[in-house]
Structure 1
Amino acid sequence: MDKVSFLQEKSTFHMKYPDQSDLAFYRWYTAQYPNEAIGWFHLGKEREAQGNSEQALEAYRRGLVSKQGPYDNETRDAYHRLLRERQRSSLGSRTRLLLASLLFLYFQFAFSPGPLRDGSSETIPQAAKQPVPTPGQTQPHVEVIAVPPTLSARELSEQVRRYVESRRPALTQPFTVMVVPEVPGSPLFRPLLFYQPREVRGILRYNPTSRTVISEKWWDKPVQLEREPTLASVKAELTDEQLTLQHVLILRNALYRYYQQTGTLPAQLSDLAGAYPGNYLPQIPVPPKRLLLKSYPYHPKAFLPESAWDSLRNVLPLPGYPEPVAPFEPLQLQLTTSTHTLKLISGSHLVRSYPVAIGKNDSTPEGYYTIQQKINQPRGHDNIYGTRGMVFQENGYALHGTNHPESIGSSVSLGCVRLYNAAVEELYSFVSLGTEFMISNAPSPAQPWSNPAPFVLPAGPEEETPQVIYNWLH
């Protein structure tokens, strides 16, 4: 429902019930239209105005799991703003308590001999200067697109030519298009950034400056990529590009979530890879060697709070490759309980898809959550939590590995989400603290997807909590 229709509903309500408040209307509206974010957004704002932040957060959460429509971005921004304000308030209370304690200690001991007076001052070392990277050299660009299975080789050639002539008008360097059979559930003739091709229908190399086809090859039937030697170099180029795209997406998402939780960007990228509980990332990705960069360029002064996500393209640019036609969005986890499928997405881009085990008797809670903690090697009896854990709700709900891989694909836990250990290690590398996690039991067909080569950022002992024995709802 758009804003005009919403205001008409509000006007009609107050004409019919002139003694009722705006709060009463918002409560009525969300009961009548529970899938419309606009109602939950205004209910949250009204709860905030009354000073009830917990009910406001709950209203914003409900709006975030509503169907796509107007006020999605406003609801998300309001939710994270309120989270930051609550965190700052909590930090302020702790700081005041600490200062009071220090003042008490000072007056107790300031005038007596002891370490408070005798200690020598220490010079705090300055942070090491970060190397200033040079722009990455332009790299061979490869796009993977899916096509209908019914097209002949001649029809493919014609349609892919039309695609390249209209799809990349801003490119000046020659690029390659790898054409694959239709991927169920994915769009046709649109770049599949994180899809690992198994079969190929054709390949075309195009020069956008002269608007000419450099070379092309087509097959009437799909051929196995591994068995086609002429495609080896293109496959290697695609692998390098996917790796760079993953690195940049991981870093941008971590920077965005850091900003959402703290209200600022880190001074340097290495601040994202702190010890638990500040471990947004296990490590900072290192650029592939062919980019000739020691580190990814980071320009925090280019950040614009009013367009936080969009400005990250300038804060952390994508070196060597063109930005995707369909822009990246912050990473988000989506669990469909009906198919036992967990997806990692970035806007319209599917990044990874994993089979999972969930809770029996609908014990995995439906709703909107965020990743609150990340633990390397979480302790539990018999290694029941596998090699990684990510808490998404305080009362015992987590995404974690398992020592029972045969359970994946079924409903057997007490509410947690289990993954294969290899999958949870990869997911742990992508997902930062604060990443959104949406759980829904809405019916949805299981869609096949071929993940790229496994990608894992090694986690270290500083991300472990050896003193804690977890009792998650395994």
Structure 2
Amino acid sequence: MKNSQHLKVYVQMHPDNKMAWYLLGKEYYKNGQHGKANYCFNQAGEVYEAFEHSKVPAEMLREYEEGLIRENRQRHESRLRLRRGLLVLLLLLLMLIPSAVAPGVNLDKSGFSVPEAAAGDLEEPVAAEPADEEAPSVPDVLAFTAAGEDAASAGQALAAILKSQKAPSQTAVLAMKKSGRWLIWKKHLPLVATLEQSRKGKIVYQSYNPAVCACEPPEAGGLKKQAELWQEKQEELAALWSAIHSYNSSKGKPPESLKELTRPFPGNILGGTTPLMKQEFAALRAASAQQPLQASAQPSPAASPDGTAAAGGNGSVEDTANRSKGQPPFFSQPLAIIVDKQNHRLAVTSGNIILRNYAVGLGGGKTPEGEFVISDKVVNPNGHDNGEFGSRGMQLSDTNYAIHGTNEPDSIGKDESLGCIRMKREDVEELFAMVPMGTKVQISKGVLPDELLLPGERYPSRTPLDQTNPNKVYHWLN
């Protein structure tokens, strides 16, 4: 423990000496203080990696450690000699003025007057713990984000956020699994790490994955619960953000109110609203006005090599106040639809993140390939919910093709339509509610994973009946 004390003093005086941090960590580890050891190893950075993965003789490390301790002890003894000399000089001066008591001086039982500060300096100084010196400040803003599991575990997920002047004081990182070039958004994503700014502005990385940190992670029950609540909001915020983007693209300005997005047909840009949308509309509108809305997601994005989300795909939602200062939601790229004719799948995406992956019925070669937009959204096409187009229809550009429901559910997964995209009722109603008018649609082959992505608790899909269109008979190529 004596060595630990000298090394603690040394790293306080030389915080940039990574070798000293590494040796202090080894002392803590030897004494069973693994939490403090891991903190020191994090400060040691590449020195820890180099020495832990190389065969450096133990004698060399001991010699280096003894040199640091000897240097620190000599410096400490030199300071003590100087302080004692000053104390003796001060006592002599006080003896020449017996009738006066100097300010800040206490008289002890022996009659000697000892300055309070000097008396304390005579004792062996006990250094503050490095963890206290570098302890993260109490976070006034707790943010969440998600990234590919490899990148999140490696601590790379927040590189862009941490460079930002608007970076939150603490950010929790959730991990998304990869499927080819895609990241998969699911409920209850695992918490893998937190990053927090210390009082000195350094970033403290805490892993919650025992296999990665080789440690016993802190209790994270509270953080996990907050993460689940954060996740519950993101899809509704994505739908609202995408609707604002769509309105802005068509009108050249953001909507003044939420009602402008949910007018009766044909002004029904958004299928419906939720209490969260009403609460967050003003903040998201302000964010869109201060920060140019990003271009729509590319239909076939490539994930970056380290597994982080594409630009705009791994931002964070903080609180309403921060979004009103220009912070977009997590899904900052507008929602897009991708149809895979090879796998009979339809996915809802944002950047290179998949939020949904549905099974659909197609028409084989009759289903066109290419890029379209949703130009018409109608409830109960042709006046009823159980006809050939089901309860919802979304027309693709100015064509006779559409995404719609069906009264032939057995055709899902097959090529039996005349070119349209058929969906199960609960799937098409959820899709109708999630994606706004103007959403981009790309139809191609071999671009989506085969695994379905359908949450147990669906996106709110109740839609006002004023989105019907009794004035038109649809003749889509069912």
Change (3 A) 1:298 1:172: closer
For 1:244, the equivalent position in structure 2 comes to 233
Q: Distance in 1 between matches of 2:228 and 2:461?
A: 17
Which structure 2 residues correspond to residues 186-201 of structure 1 after superposition, within 5 A? 186=181, 194-197=185-188
1:43-442 residue pairs with structure 2 within 5 A? Answer: 140-147=142-149, 160=153, 162-163=155-156, 166=159, 168-169=161-162, 170=164, 171-179=167-175, 182-186=177-181, 194-197=185-188, 203-209=192-198, 211-213=203-205, 216-218=208-210, 234-287=223-276, 293=279, 296-297=282-283, 299=285, 303=289, 307=292, 309=294, 319=320, 328-360=332-364, 362-378=365-381, 379=383, 382-441=386-445
Q: Do the aligned partners of residues 244 and 436 (structure 1) sit closer, same or farther apart at CA in structure 2, a change above 3 Å counting?
A: same
Q: Deviations over 1:11-42 (max 9, x none)?
A: xxxxxxxxxxxxxxxxxxxxxxxxxxxxxxxx
Q: CA deviation at 1:303?
A: 3.4
Report the Cα distance in structure 2 between the residues aligned to 1:391 and 1:295, rounded to whole angstroms: 27
For residues 408-442 of structure 1, give each alpha carbon's deviation from its aligned partner in whole angstroms, at most 9, with x where no partner exists.
Answer: 2111111110112122112112222222112124x
CA contact (8 A) 2:247 2:253 kept: yes
Q: 1:344 to 1:267 in 2, by over 3 A?
A: same
Q: Is the 8 A contact 1:267 1:300 kept in 2?
A: no
- Using a 3 Å threshold, how does the CA distance of structure 1 residues 456 and 163 change in structure 2: closer, same or farther? same
Structure 1 length-normalised TM: 0.54
- Measured after TM superposition, the shift of residue 277 of structure 1 is 0.8
Distance in 2 between residues matched to 1:355 and 1:327, nearest whole Å: 23
The two structures have a TM-score, normalised by structure 2, of: 0.53
How far has the Cα of 1:342 moved from its partner?
1.3
Q: Does the residue aligned with 2:438 lie in a helix, a strand or coil?
A: coil
Q: Do the aligned partners of 1:380 and 1:471 also contact (CA within 8 Å) in 2?
A: no
Contact 1:396 1:471 in 2 (8 A): yes
Q: What is the rounded CA distance, in whole Å, between the counterparts of 2:193 and 2:387 in structure 1?
A: 49
Structure 1 residue 206, shift from structure 2 partner = 3.9
Partner letter of residue 343 of structure 1? A
Evaluate the alpha carbon distance shift between residue 410 and residue 208 of structure 1 in structure 2; reply closer, same or farther with a 3 A threshold.
farther
Q: Distance in 2 between matches of 1:317 and 1:236?
A: 16
- Cα RMSD of the aligned pairs, angstroms, is 4.0
The one-letter amino acid paired with 1:204 is A
CA distance in 1, matches of 2:262, 2:161: 36
**Aligned counterparts of 1:145 and 1:264: Cα–Cα separation in 2:** 31
Spell out, residue by residue over 1:355-385, the C-alpha distance to the aligned partner (whole angstroms, 9 max, x if none): 211114x111112211111111223695332
Q: How many residues are paired up?
A: 303
Q: Secondary structure at the match of 1:426?
A: helix
Cα distance, 1:141 vs. partner? 3.5
Encode CA deviations 1:207-259: one digit per residue, 9 max, x unaligned.
Answer: 33363355735369xxxxxxxxx876555433332343323322232222223
Q: Is the 8 A contact 2:341 2:443 kept in 1?
A: yes
Output the amino acid matched with 2:258.
L
CA separation of 1:143 and 1:264: change in aligned 2, threshold 3 A: closer
Compared CA separation, residues 242 and 381, structure 1 to 2 (3 A): closer
The answer as to whether partners of 2:244 and 2:255 remain within 8 angstroms in 1 is: yes
After superposing the two structures, state which structure 1 stretch, 368-377 or 461-470, moved more. 461-470
Corresponding residue for 2:18? Answer: none
Counterpart amino acid of residue 387 in structure 1: S
Equivalence for 1:13: none
**Aligned equivalents of 2:405 and 2:387: distance in 1?**
9
CA distance in 2, matches of 1:325, 1:287: 13
Distance 1:212 1:351 in 2: 31
Contact 1:141 1:321 in 2 (8 A): no
User: Looking at CA atoms only, which structure, 1 or 2, has the larger radius of gyration?
Assistant: 2
Partner of 1:116: none
SS of alignment partner, residue 230 of structure 2: helix
Amino acid at match of 2:402: A
One-letter amino acid of the counterpart of residue 196, structure 1: K
Residue-by-residue CA offset, 1:139-167 (whole Å, 9 max, x unaligned): 7534444446xxxxxxx9xx826436846
Q: Quick one: distance in 1 between partners of 2:331 and 2:175?
A: 21
Q: Describe the shift of the 1:177–1:268 C-alpha distance in structure 2 as closer, same or farther (beyond 3 A).
A: closer
Give secondary structure in 2 for the equivalent of 1:339.
coil
2:363 is aligned with what amino acid?
G
CA contact (8 A) 2:340 2:444 kept: yes
In structure 2, C-alpha distance between the alignment counterparts of 1:139 and 1:425, rounded to whole Å: 36
Tell me by how many angstroms 1:341 deviates.
Answer: 1.5
Aligned to 2:105: none
Residue in 1 that maps onto 2:475: 471
Task: Give, as a single letter, the amino acid of the residue that structure 1 aligns with 2:187.
Answer: Q
**Cα distance in 2 between the residues matched to 1:248 and 1:363:** 35
Q: 1:242 to 1:412 in 2, by over 3 A?
A: same
Residues in 1 aligned to 2:289 and 2:209: alpha-carbon distance in whole angstroms: 44
Unaligned runs of 5+ in 2: 1-138, 213-218, 296-311
Give the drift of 1:177: 3.0
In the TM superposition, residue 325 of structure 1 has moved relative to its aligned partner by: 10
Q: Deviations over 1:277-309 (max 9, x none)?
A: 1100122332289xxx4754365697379x454
Q: 1:326 to 1:375 in 2, by over 3 A?
A: closer
Amino acid in structure 2 at the alignment position of 1:329 = Q
For residues 172 and 208 of structure 1, the distance between their equivalents in structure 2, rounded to whole angstroms, comes to 8
